[in-house]
Copies of this chain bind each other. A is one copy, B any other.
């Protein structure tokens, strides 16, 4: 991915966050990216494909910055939770969700992302598959509640679920 392509993906991210999915047009993305709008189709073929690339990077960015699971899992404090919220990643995920309902390919890409997150949570905290599914659910669910209602106690909710899990086998 050359410099221009990267500028476009970054512009798409910025536009999505600043304008929302309904106002994220190809031309507007090009403005945020500082490139000519024609280049978006030149490099990505379609707006849909650009979004898919953006989701790909979204997933990589989280993977890269996540602490690798090591030693005894620490459930007392959820650094992962903050990771998910870093850099407006939570807002972005909600926009992806909105875009996914209009494109099966985006939906599929997003499915990969959430599955990957579950796997990561599972390894990170030494959880069963069901526990990681529960944790992933509560994270997304509380994000949505918080989006609608700024007073929603996101952190309390996530901690509550984390605390409910049995101590890890390695303890």
Contacts and interface: CB of A to CB of B under 8 A. Distances in A.
A114 interface: yes
A66 interface: no
A6 interface: no
Given A98-B101, A101-B94, A101-B98, A137 B130 contact: no
Interface residues of A, number: 39
Give this chain's copy count. Answer: 4
A100 interface: yes
Contacts of A144: 97, 137, 140-141, 144
A95 interface: yes
Given A94-B101, A107-B148, 14 more contacts: A20-B102, A21-B101, A21-B102, A22-B102, A100-B148, A111-B148, A114-B145, A133-B142, A134-B142, A136-B141, A137-B141, A138-B138, A141-B141, A144-B144
7 contacts: A22-B102, A94-B101, A97-B98, A130-B157, A131-B160, A141-B142, A164-B164
